[in-house]
Chain A
Amino acid sequence: MIRRLALRLASSVATLVVLVSLVFFLIMATPGGPAYSILGAHASPEAVAALNRQFGLNVPVWRQYLLWWWHLMHGRLGYSFVEHAPVGALLGSYLRNTVLLDTLALTLAVSTALVIGFLQGARPATPSARLIGGLQIAVYSLPVFFVGTALILLFAVDHPWLPPGGIGGAGGFRHAGLADLARHMVLPAITLALPLAAGLSRYFGHQVRQEYRQDYVRAARARGIPPLRIAVFHVLRNAVRPLVTVLGMSIPQIFVGGVLTESVFNYPGLGWLLWRSALAEDYPVVTAIVLVIGALTILGNLAADLLNTALDVSVRYE
């Protein structure tokens, strides 16, 4: 068990190194640069060269790359060209906002998926199950920017019940108390949760349906086990396990959806910052966010794997 875990961790770290390196060189290969973003497209070559010298962008790329790792070893993520602040300090509040939003969206999506998927899987032949099936595909196919914009129009503009974006407080980026923060999170959380809930509930519904067809369910019925007990004790228990794996694999989907959602709602999270920094070609921030998101994804997958091991009796005993 410990050996398995250590192997998984080692391969995770290797994956992360490859990922970050790839992103680093890809950014470096793109034309333009932060100097142009700051000074404008028509800046004189002399001014651009001066700024590049100041940022340390004039040294060879491989030296910058090694330097970046050297700083990372010492706990430094670099310095933002645009914000004029150390990246580590900059990320803190954005990371917290994203974790809050993603946790809320995930909870929303999973609880919806469990209820809807079970109703759908337990009675697959009913008209309501077919309706749910159609809705799932429709909702899953709706792009985040469309859903987000529609929600803003409906519930913030036409019916001004909820704020259209930001997280409130001064300048919209500093929240004023939990209640206010929660109000600001409702629409982005729903936007982020909807496609996830559609996908997960469809998958879970299918699992429930499969479990109901198993011989052991027929056998349990034949020995007079009450339907509710069969549903909870036998079917749900076995159907939830594969959901954990799928959940682990859908973590990247949450971050990708997060970039769009946070941009639509001007929600100051990592996704929003990534979008802004990518536009401004703020290399150190982009690389750092990729590192953080990569690490979170890998951790999420690892957690799903561990949870699965704990749930699956045949894996545990082998």
Chain B
Amino acid sequence: MSAQDPALVVEGLTVRAQGLAHPLVHDVSFTVGRGEIAALVGESGCGKTLTASGLLGPLAAGLQRTARVIRLAGNEITGLSEGALRTLRGRALGMVFQNPMSALNPSLTLGEQIGEVLRVHTGARGAPLEREAARLLACVEIPDPERALASYPHQLSGGMRQRALLAIAIACAPRLLIADEPTTALDVLVQSQILALIARLGAQTGMGVLFITHNLALAAQYADTVLVMYAGRLVEAAPAQAFFQGPRHPYSRALLAALPTLAARTAHRLPDIPGEAPAAHAIVNACAFAARCPRADAVCRSQVPPLSGDTHRFACFHPEESS
């Protein structure tokens, strides 16, 4: 492992469900650089969360992961046993989930829950453990950390709980943080505070962040890279600036066009994308977006477009013009 290794390299990640002929997540490849925020965006059910939990697991029963390469800060983790993966979870990779109300055990204090992950992964005990736990709470800007350590989840607001979960996630200085819609359940003001905090922590420690969201506005504000998923496949991957200036995949363009703006308030209805996203395993030999795409032709309906390109990759036979 060298200082130049990206936080995460994924090649050919595929997740299959027992009894389904076609995978739910299909051949996904991307890289998250050190200190970088990669936003994984897409509609509900397109495989964002499955992609994230397919990296290190644990996967729900009945799901299987295969991948050519998964390198976490230079260390290959494909082929590791479940026991070896478990020691990496929470230590090399931190996770923050969507709902801070339920991701903490209601009957344990914050101190016990932060202490637990430190004890399990670093073997710390006693006073040093307490000091470290308090330091972590201070890191995520929880006021009066000593008091917060002794409080139970129900005594904290949603924003405070998400900060505490963030403290648990970064407790062992992971190389990668997976933030799975970390702010969806929070109000708008708290949302941007939490994301700014995540961005700052990433920049300070070189930790890469895989930020799963369907909020494109947040992605535009914080992400360095944008990864767009549709029906279990990556359809566009680009540096954030290039993406927001000129998305090449018609789906990406439609997503951006569907963003509500202040001007749209005068319109009678918000812009949307006609039709519905198909299930990932339903589309075999066609572009999954073809049915909803104004540019689709016979080729689109008979072949899966490959994800190609250099820094700005997209999977489309008839891409939008680059601007």
Contact = CB atoms under 8 A, between A and B. Distances in A.
A221 B85 CA distance: 11
A222 B95 contact: yes
A161 interface: no
B89 A222 contact: yes
B97 interface: yes
Contacts of B88: 224
Contact of B103 (A216, A225, A238, A312): A216
Given A219-B97, A226-B120, A238 B105 contact: yes
A88 to B, nearest CB: 44
B102 A313 contact: no
Contacts of A241: 107
Nearest to A214: B102
B168 interface: yes
A222 B90 contact: yes
Given A215-B97, A314-B154, A223 B169 contact: yes
A317 B152 contact: yes
Given A223-B89, A223-B117, A313 B106 contact: yes
B120 A225 contact: yes
Interface residues of B, number: 30
B91 A313 contact: no
A312 to B, nearest CB: 8
A167 B155 CA distance: 54
Nearest to A241: B107
Contacts of B146: none
Interface in A203-232: 214-216, 218-226, 229
B120 A224 contact: yes
A216 B117 contact: no
B281 interface: no
A76 interface: no
A220 B58 contact: no
Contact of A237 (B87, B94, B107, B169): B107
**Which one of A215, A229, A241, A317 has the greatest number of beta carbons of chain B within 10 Å?**
A215
A238 B102 CA distance: 14
Contacts of A226: 86, 120
Contacts of A313: 106-107, 152, 154
**Which one of A216, A222, A229, A234 has the greatest number of beta carbons of chain B within 10 Å?**
A222
A218 B103 CA distance: 8
Contacts of B97: 215, 218-219, 222
A219 B103 CA distance: 6
Contacts of A317: 152, 155
A215 B116 contact: no
B78 interface: no
A229 B120 CA distance: 10
Interface string A296-312: 00000000000000011
Contacts of B215: none
Contacts of B152: 313-314, 317
A223 B168 CA distance: 9
B104 A216 contact: yes
Interface string B109-129: 000000011001100000000
Nearest to B105: A216
B99 interface: yes
Nearest to B90: A223
**Which one of A223, A234, A317 has the greatest number of beta carbons of chain B within 10 Å?**
A223
Contacts of A216: 102-106
A215 B103 contact: yes
B165 interface: yes
Contacts of B120: 224-226, 229
A223 B103 contact: no
A224 B104 contact: no
Nearest to B61: A125
Contacts of A237: 107
B154 A225 contact: no
B303 to A, nearest CB: 37
B261 to A, nearest CB: 34
Nearest to A216: B105
B95 to A, nearest CB: 4
Contact of B86 (A219, A224, A314): A224
A238 B94 CA distance: 25
Interface string A69-89: 000000000000000000000
Contacts of B53: 222
B89 A224 contact: yes
Given A223-B94, A224-B121, A225-B116, A215 B99 contact: yes
B158 to A, nearest CB: 14
A125 B60 CA distance: 13
Interface of B: 53, 58, 61, 86-91, 94-95, 97, 99, 102-108, 116-117, 120-121, 152, 154-155, 165, 168-169
20 contacts: A215-B99, A215-B102, A219-B97, A220-B116, A221-B58, A222-B95, A223-B117, A223-B169, A224-B86, A224-B120, A225-B90, A225-B120, A226-B86, A229-B120, A234-B105, A234-B108, A312-B107, A313-B106, A314-B154, A317-B155
4 closest Cβ contacts across the A-B interface?
A223-B90, A224-B89, A224-B90, A215-B102
Given A215-B97, A223-B168, 5 more contacts: A219-B95, A223-B95, A224-B89, A312-B107, A313-B154
